[in-house]
Amino acid sequence: MSASIRQRLMLLVLATIALVWAIALASSYGQATREVAEWEGARLAKH
């Protein structure tokens, strides 16, 4: 039995949302690690 158009559309929408969340998570993590490294460098330079 094949999936209905509604089921396929729902799967596509959920997969797209998951992909956008994954990209946003990776970007946020990368930015946060860069910020922490910058703060740590500034802290070490201060002492």
Q: Over the stretch 25-44, which tens digit does the pLDDT of each residue have?
A: 999 999 999 999 999 988 88
Q: Is the pLDDT of residue 2 over 80?
A: no
Q: Where are the domains of the chain?
A: 21-47
- 3 phi and psi, to 5 degrees? -70, 145
Predicted pLDDT of residue 1: 61
Query: Which residues lie closer than 8 Å to 29 by C-beta, 6 or more apart?
Result: none
Which pair of structure tokens corresponds to residue 29? 């993590």
pLDDT of residue 41: 85
| pLDDT above 70 as % of the chain | 96
